[in-house]
Amino acid sequence: MSQGNPILGTSPLRKEGRAKVLGATQYIDDLTLPGLWHGTTIRSTIARGRIKSITFDPQINWSEYAIVRAADIPGENSIVHLTRDHPCLAATEINHVAEPILLLAHPEKSALLAARSAIHIDYDELPGVFTIEASEAAVEALHHDPNATSNIIWSGSNSGGTPNCFKQYQMHTGEADETEDALAAAFESADFIITGEYTTGAQEQLYIEPNGVIAECDIDPATGHIRGVTVRGSMQCPYYLVHALALVFNLPEENCRVLQVETGGAFGGKEDFPSVIGSHAALLAMKCGHPVKIIYDRSEDMAATTKRHPSRTRIRTAVSRDGKLLAGTIDIALDGGAYATLSPVVLSRATLHAPGPYKWPHLRVRAKAMATNIPPHGAFRGFGAPQSLFALERHIDKIAHTLGLTPEEIRRRNFLSTGDRTATGQLLTEPVDMQHLLTRALADSGYHARRDRFAAENPTSRIKRGIGIAAFMHGAGFTGSGERRLNSLVHLDILPNGLPQILVSSTEFGQGTNTILCQVAAEALALPYDDILIHQPDTTLVPDSGPTVASRTAMIVGKLVERAAHQILTTLRTHASLPTPHTRAQFIAAAQSYLTRHNHLRASTRYQPATKIHWDDDLYRGDAYPAYAWAVYVAEVAVDLSTYTATVTRFDALQEVGRVLHPILARGQIEGGIAQGIGYALYEKCVYQNGHLMNNQMTNYIMPTSADLPTIHVYFEETPSPHGPGGAKGIGELPMDGPAPAILNAIEDATGIAFTAIPLLPEDIFERLTAYTTHPHGGTEDLNPATDLDTETESPRVSA
Amino acid sequence: MRSDPTQFALTAPASLQAVLAQLAQNPGTHIPIAGGTELMVALAAGRLPRHSFLSISHLPELRFIRITPDAIHLGANTTFTDIRRNPTIAADLPLLTLAASWTGSIANQNRATLGGNLCNASPAADTPPALLVYDATVTLISSGAAPGEIVQRTLPYRDFYLAYKSTVLRPDELLHTITIPRAYSVHRHFLRKVGTRNAQAISKTALAALALVSESPATTSDSPSTTPCARHIQTIRLAAASLADRPIRLYATEAALQNASLAPAHLDATLRRARAAFATEAHPIDDIRSTARYRTAVAANLLEDFLRSLTT
Amino acid sequence: MTTIHLTVNNQPHTLTVPPMKRLLDLLREDLSLTGTKEACGEGECGACAILLDTGSGPELVNSCLIPALQADNATLTTIEGLAPDAALHPIQQSFLQAGGAQCGICTPGMILATHHLLTQHPNPTEAQIREGLSGNLCRCTGYMRIFESIRQAATETAR
């Protein structure tokens, strides 16, 4: 297809990179509009209760301010995600700390500070439900007594759930009854039954740019009628915000315009949340008649926006003496927070990744997302998979230790391979070679030699070293029939200068969307990369090519761009005598000649599955994902017995992600994901007290610095896939899945102690290593977040 | 940003005398601000109690490193970067160089001053344990009776703190000089910080130690139970962060280790005695960053690591 | 309000501002130099890092922690002043080529921290690189491409 040098597989400069290194890129807080006002959010200081009264201190001249309450919302008071249970502003009931109650705007930012402290909200406070276990206990109580509703914090009615439970899934390897019989038989006769419980904590996305938007509202001056709203902001999914605005303002979607501004990191944290802050700013713009900017400061962003779902996974496995998995049951519970938001789909990905890259003759996965009085948990890179893969990959090591096999051998005896069926019954028709990935990962990382050396050195050292592995996969694209439902659309235009411009709603937030889509178009059109333009997403100009999530952009949207490019070539060859092959000049000449006659040239492509995809949502069986990326990660740790600190001292990551489109960007994705995974495992703990996130600052929410991370070695195995352009698959989320289990497996290798919970902090290691007392809690359970000995703290630092 | 900067006064008096005069005029009204790396954080968080500030960062009289044969004199405005770049400090007071390198980030070390670090009086601060084992003294200045007169008083740094975030500094006084003897060339120096991460971390605990190890029999011993022997501790100073409401010297542990034997046969007994004494004077708390149990255990481990290092 | 004089990217300015106004806000609001970013507001992340010379040479500082008054008579360099003409500074070029910038929000601070590092250590060791950047948080890259950018910049500058 292409002439000259190939573009896919090379590393051209990031499209918007020059502006970024010059500091010329304008993020949302760098923008202003004429007559701009500033907005702020008044939030609940309690986790659960009812608003009794709101008092405005008369010392403030409130007529200078725009004030929005729930009653001012012209449409429905709800932020639509999958359900409509999530209020845009709390009217009376409070379900989590930092729940928005009022919105204020003023031309002067400083005037908002004074006003915030002059609003007093009184509550009737109710005891909060803060953990999965407390939420389950309330459901249990309800089973015994239908009147025991005091701790039912989410009714479930009208939102597809049950009391305190947003969603449940049940997945079997076969027909349900038969599988249950087979499970019973297998557990009856197996050589070993091995059980385990694994927990993971909340994790903050910690994009370096906090959430922010600027909204405008177009009001007919004659009638006062709202004609439309426009929101610019830092976000991943412009069309999600369009849907939210349409409901809040009761406007047709075409009157809700959303523009994505250059976005300073997202990681899922700007998938669903911009619907909230975007609606808020638009309501203030409606009220004051001016553009309104809301920029969260760090502490508000951390206290009020989404985190990764905490989880608890229980695994029970029947295993033969020779290390074959015979049967298993996996029970997953996620803490969804106060409203459903994206929990059902996060739970779905957790369910579908729970079996890992293994053959399960008989398996049942049950999963549920429980309601708690914590700010809603939401999307974060990995989206449920890191939780269940942490549990499984720790459990596989437990099986190995129980049976006396090596971590390597237990995996080899159970890996899926080409032609096998996954636990959902998906036939793996494309090549899958986990055996080779494991062999290569161990060889490239020098695993065996290091493991032997540590075993020899550890007995005489205060520093215990260990090495651990994790084998896993990540499904690219939306689950099951999701991509068909999304029905993504892409346009490729030829501009008057004869050169192409890509129009997609896919957003750039550092991961490289602009660059790889332009590479795909350049390669397909046989044009230089620099000739391809991509338009900043503006929903009045770009089609809905789906959300920028789920490791789908390169594979799904990239394929659509590739197909659109081929359509353009066909058109120009058929109608404008473009020769095959062609030069750049010939392309431009043909394109301009076509434009002279037809005025415009646009190719539009809609999603079509590359292969037949069957998915049954009721049985939760079939082809769960169009394609999977596969990986084996190797972590080396050092545990210092003086300080009980575990440090990752080396990390090796081998993955098969199809064709690598841009080696530098791809490495950047893998390394960045691993860094977040190391933080997830060993550093990043969300410390809550009565539903308040107490460490909502960068100084006490501990993400790794450049001095904390090991050298990360990245290797790719390239097996072209039919699903993505040039053979690519999804890559973005995969690296989040493997580090935590590999690291805890390494810590067990180093210390002999099987830790089952993350984040694993030195205090937790200390309590287990020195477990000679019967201390009631121990470890980080004993943290007292109300106190900071370095800094006097009188009260929780929440945005109130 | 939770504070409105228009609500705060800040002036930069032209001289040290002018600063002292203003402090004396309305004691307790003004807060001196040097590098700002603590106070500006408090300002952003809306935690600043008073609203009037006197900038002292521009005063050359407070930014000096003076080396004399017996001591190193550091002006209160000496930045952590100044400390790190000084070769004499690195040679004579390696723990101070090390502690400076652990204080915040490079960008903050370029602004933050030693004086500010001490006056902020955090029990978790990085330089106090080093200064405590080096037996520093501090010189405080204030306005005298005559116009332009500056009076000073000098006291041992170990007596500088009164309670949590509280020092002997009067509202009319400024910290002027930190003086450290150059007397430790034959000593063993030890400092280890255990923080939440490797950089930009506030310590969970830290231990500084300075000891003179002797191979010859001790001539005097006020601890009759101690049998002086071939290798023993002649003198020892220990100090810690985050084990109390202020940075502390570990006097009881020091006393227990005076003349303690480091011979292989006696080492376990020495370690036991050290740990027992240490337990009587470590009183950390549970806070957002760590637990009391962890802090105590780790600091004791660091003490043991140091003592073991003295055996070779 | 107080009147201060300062030179930013070789341009002299006289401004009347609240003396306690953060230098960060002065740059962004009064001088429209928005390349300097705010991400934590407490000196933890380095997104607001600039080079400040108050008489003893340019030093890397966090502009969110400096009251405007303390920059009186100072000379500042922000990301906008690193490459005054249209060309990229070698550090900017290496960040662009080696993948040191992803979302870009930490990039101005990272590049100025690198500038400061290479001034102190023209051929930095891995440990010096890690320490030199440890006050600049990046959530995208895991720092590896940034280390590579710095190694390339050091090589380029040495030529």
Asked whether the predicted pLDDT for residue A462 surpasses 60, the reply is yes
pLDDT tops 70 at residue A3: no
CA dist., res. B27 & res. B232, Å (int): 51
A611-620 contact pairs (CB < 8 A, 24+): A611/A429, A611/A722, A611/A723, A613/A480, A613/A481, A613/A483, A613/A484, A615/A479, A615/A480, A615/A481, A617/A480, A617/A481, A619/A172, A619/A176, A620/A169, A620/A170, A620/A171, A620/A172, A620/A351, A620/A424
Q: Looking at per-residue confidence, does A346 or B223 come out higher?
A: A346
Apex B243 CA angle, B239 and B246, nearest 5: 75
Distance from CA of C89 to the nearest CA of B (A): 21
Residue boundaries of the structural domains of chain A: 17-25+488-606, 31-126+206-304, 307-479+619-782
pTM: 0.97
Rounded Cα gap, residues B219 and B233, in angstroms? 12
> Does A2 score more than 50 pLDDT?
no
Residue-wise pLDDT tens digits, A296-343: 999 999 999 999 999 999 999 999 999 999 999 999 999 999 999 999
Residues A549 and A236: beta-carbon distance below 8 Å: yes
Whole-number pLDDT of residue A797: 34
Tokens of A500: 């192409």
Q: Which residues of B touch A707 (CB under 8 A)?
A: 197-199
User: Are the beta carbons of A213 and A270 closer than 8 angstroms?
Assistant: no
Task: Using CB atoms, list chains with 3+ pairs below 8 Å to chain B.
Answer: A, C
Query: What are A757's strand-pairing partners?
Result: A199
Tokens 């177009």 found at: A218
Q: Which two tokens stand for residue B93?
A: 């007071």
Q: What are the residue ranges of CATH 3.10.20.30 in chain C? A: 2-81
Q: From the CA of C55, how many Å to the nearest CA of chain B?
A: 10
Answer yes or no: is pLDDT of A717 > 90: yes
Between these two residues, A619 and B168, which has the higher pLDDT value?
A: B168
Closest partner CB to C145 (pick from A263, A668, A697) = A668
Asked if B183 reaches chain C (Cβ–Cβ under 8 Å), the answer is no
CB–CB contact A789 B194 (8 Å): no
User: Is A12's pLDDT higher than 50?
Assistant: yes
Q: Which residue of B has its CA nearest to A642?
A: B301
Predicted confidence (pLDDT) at residue C99 exceeds the cutoff of 90: yes
pLDDT at A234 over 70: yes
Where does A17-25+488-606 sit in CATH, by number?
3.30.365.10
Q: Where in chain C is the domain with CATH 1.10.150.120?
A: 90-158
The Cα of A781 is separated from the nearest Cα of chain B by a number of Å equal to: 9
The answer to whether residues B25 and B39 touch, using CB atoms and an 8 Å cutoff, is: no
Contact C19 B40 (CB under 8 A): no
Task: Find the range with the poorest average confidence among A89-93, A492-496, A557-561, A609-613.
Answer: A609-613
B14 CB near a chain C CB, below 8 Å?
Answer: no
pLDDT for B263 beyond 50: yes
Cα separation of A561 and A491, whole Å?
Answer: 8
A184 pLDDT tier (thresholds 50, 70, 90): very high
> Is the Cβ–Cβ distance between A178 and A428 less than 8 Å?
no
pLDDT at A47: 98
Please give the average per-residue pLDDT across A106-125, as a whole number: 96
> Which residues in chain B have their CB less than 8 angstroms from residue C20's CB?
5-6, 8-10, 43, 53
- Selected for mutation to probe chain C from A11, A16, A22, A38 (highest C CB count within 10 Å) is A22
Chain B residues in contact with C18 (beta carbon < 8 A): 5-6, 8
Helix (H, G, I), strand (E, B) or coil at A332: strand
C107 shares contact with chain B (CB less than 8 Å) = no
Of the partner residues A17, A27, A699, the one whose CB lies closest to the CB of residue C42: A699
pLDDT at position C42 is: 96
Q: Could you give the angle at which helices A513-525 and A558-575 cross, rounded to 10 degrees?
A: 30
Closest residue by Cα to residue A633 from A534, A715, A552? A715
Q: Could you give the maximum distance between any two Cα atoms of chain C, in Å?
A: 48
What pLDDT score was predicted for residue A783? Answer: 83
Distance from C-alpha of A265 to C-alpha of A209, rounded to nearest angstrom:
6
Judging by beta carbons within 10 Å of its beta carbon (0-12, 13-18, 19+), is residue B125 exposed, middle or buried?
A: buried
d(CA B283, CA B203): 15
What is the structure's pLDDT at A794?
42
A4 pLDDT tier (thresholds 50, 70, 90): low
| Eight-state DSSP code of residue B60 | G
DSSP letters, B79-106, are BHHHHHH-HHHHHH-HHHHHHHHTSS-H
pLDDT in tens, B15-36: 999 999 999 999 999 999 999 9
The DSSP secondary-structure symbol of A38 reads: E
CB atoms B5 and C20 under 8 Å: yes
Query: Is A23 close to C93, i.e. CB distance below 8 A?
Result: no
**pLDDT confidence bin for A778, thresholds 50/70/90:** low
Q: Can you give the pLDDT at residue B229?
A: 54
Q: What angle do CA A378, A379, A381 make, to 5 degrees?
A: 145
Cβ of C39 and A210 within 8 Å? yes
The CATH class for the domain spanning C90-158 reads mainly alpha
- Say if domain C2-81 classifies as CATH 3.10.20.30: yes
CATH 3.30.420 fits B7-55, yes or no: no
Q: What is the pLDDT of residue A799?
A: 33
CATH of domain A31-126+206-304: 3.30.365.10
Task: Classify each residue of A251-271 as buried b or exposed e, where b means 16 or more C-beta atoms within 10 Å of its C-beta.
Answer: beeebbbbbbbbbbbbbbbbb
A703, closest residue in chain B (CA to CA): B197
Q: Which 3-state string (H, E, C) describes A66-129? A: EEECHHHCCCCCCCCCCCCCCCCCCCCEECCCCCEEEEEEECCHHHHHHHHCCEEEEEEECCCC
Residue to mutate among C17, C111, C139, with most A CBs inside 10 A, is: C139
Q: What is the pLDDT of residue A231?
A: 98
Q: Rounded to whole angstroms, how far apart are CA atoms B30 and B9?
A: 9
Q: What is the pLDDT of residues A366-405, one digit of tens each?
A: 999 999 999 999 999 999 999 999 999 999 999 999 999 9
Percentage of residues in chain A having pLDDT higher than 70: 97
Predicted confidence (pLDDT) per residue in B268-302, tens digit: 999 999 999 999 999 999 999 999 999 999 999 99
User: How close B105 gets to chain C, by Cα (Å)?
Assistant: 5
Sign of CA dihedral C71, C73, C76, C80: positive
- Predicted pLDDT at B104: 93
CA distance A767 to A762: 9
Q: What is the pLDDT of residues A246-296, one digit of tens each?
A: 999 999 999 999 999 999 999 999 999 999 999 999 999 999 999 999 999
Mean pLDDT of A645-649: 98
Confidence of residue A156 (pLDDT cuts 50, 70, 90): confident
Chains that touch A (3 or more CB pairs under 8 A): B, C
Chosen from A296, A669, A683, A706 to mutate, greatest number of chain C CBs within 10 A: A706
Compute the average pLDDT of residues A467-484: 94
Distance CA A292, CA A584 (A): 45
A703 CB neighbours in chain C (<8 A) are 137, 139
Local structure of A436: helix, strand or coil: helix
> What's the CATH fold of domain A307-479+619-782?
Aldehyde Oxidoreductase; domain 4 (3.30.365)
- What is the pLDDT, as a whole number, of residue A709? 98
Range with the poorest average pLDDT among A52-56, A576-580, B41-45, B162-166: B41-45
- Which residues, in sequence order, are CB contacts of B14 under 8 Å at separation 6+? none
Question: H or E segment at A628?
Answer: strand A627-640
- B118-153 tens-digit pLDDT: 999 999 999 999 999 999 999 999 999 999 999 999
pLDDT value of position A685: 98
CB contact under 8 A, C138 and A711: no
- Per residue, the 3-state secondary structure of B225-286, as one string, reads CCCCCCCEEEEEEEEEECCCCCCEECHHHHHHHCCCECCHHHHHHHHHHHHHHHHHHCCCCC
The whole-number pLDDT of residue A792 equals 63
Among the partner-chain residues A21, A297, A512, the one whose CB lies closest to the CB of C41 is A297
At residue A795, the pLDDT reads 38
Q: Please check whether residue C29 touches B, CB under 8 A.
A: no
CA separation for the pair A613, C89 (Å, rounded): 50
Residue A384 CA to residue A624 CA, distance in Å, equals: 14
Q: What is the interface size between B and C, counted as CB pairs within 8 Å?
A: 105
pLDDT at A798: 33
* Tokens representing residue A661 in the block: 């489109």
Region B60-181: CATH code: 3.30.465.10
Q: Residue A727 in 3-state DSSP?
A: helix
* H/E stretch holding B297: helix B292-309
DSSP code per residue over A511-542: S-HHHHHHHHHHHHHT--GGG-EEPPPBTTTS
User: Which helix (H) or strand (E) covers residue A438, if one does?
Assistant: helix A434-444
Which tokens go with A778?
């121990």
Which run of H or of E encompasses A652?
strand A645-656
Q: Which class would CATH give B188-309?
A: alpha beta
Q: Report chain C residues whose CB lies below 8 A from the CB of A511.
A: 102, 140
Chain B residue with CA closest to C39: the answer is B1
Chain A: closest CA distance from residue C109 (Å): 9
Report CA C115 to chain centroid distance, whole Å: 8
pLDDT tens digits for range A562-621: 999 999 999 999 999 999 999 999 999 999 999 999 999 999 999 998 778 899 988 999
CA distance linking residue B304 with residue B298, whole number of Å: 10
In the predicted model, is pLDDT for residue A181 greater than 60? yes
Residues A639/A765, Cβ–Cβ less than 8 Å: yes
Q: What is the pLDDT of residues B56-112, one digit of tens each?
A: 999 999 999 999 999 999 999 999 999 999 999 999 999 999 999 999 999 999 999
The rounded mean pLDDT for chain B is 94
Q: What is the pLDDT of residue A779?
A: 74
Q: Is 60 exceeded by the pLDDT of residue B222?
A: no
pLDDT for residue B288? 94
Single out the residue of A230, A378, A393 nearest to residue A315, CA to CA: A393
